[in-house]
């Protein structure tokens, strides 16, 4: 497997994880509703680290995409 293939696999795995988080978020929202306070400052449940986890994965996907094509973030 080439380095590019490994990067693509990592990127696809992260995208699948992000989609899973989005599905859980939507399900939670439909069942319980989500206030601004819950979204920004949850102290328990699935939302505690949701934003940070999702942001970290999204940034890694962008970095991987740049690595794959040989460009860089500015």
The total number of structural domains in the chain stands at 1
* Structural domain includes residue 21: yes
Residue 20 has pLDDT above 80, yes or no: yes
The parent domain of residue 54 ranges over 3-69
In this predicted structure, what is the pLDDT of residue 73?
81
| Whole-number pLDDT of residue 28 | 92
Q: What is the mean pLDDT of residues 9-34?
A: 95
What's the mean pLDDT when you consider all of the chain? Answer: 93
Percent with pLDDT over 90 in the chain: 74
Q: pLDDT tens, 27-61?
A: 999 999 989 888 898 888 889 999 999 999 999 99
Q: How many residues in total does the chain contain?
A: 74
Q: Identify whether 38 is part of a domain.
A: yes
Distance of CA 70 to the CA centre of its chain: 22
Interior angle at CA 4, CA 22 and CA 2, nearest 5? 130
Say if 74 falls within a structural domain: no
């Amino acid at each position: 497997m080439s380095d590019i293939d490994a990067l693509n696999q990592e990127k696809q795995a992260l995208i699948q994880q992000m989609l899973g988080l989005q599905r859980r978020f939507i399900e939670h929202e439909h069942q319980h509703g989500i206030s601004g306070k819950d979204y920004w400052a949850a102290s328990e449940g699935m939302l505690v680290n949701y934003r940070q986890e999702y942001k970290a994965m999204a940034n890694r996907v962008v970095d991987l995409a740049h690595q794959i094509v040989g460009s860089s973030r500015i």
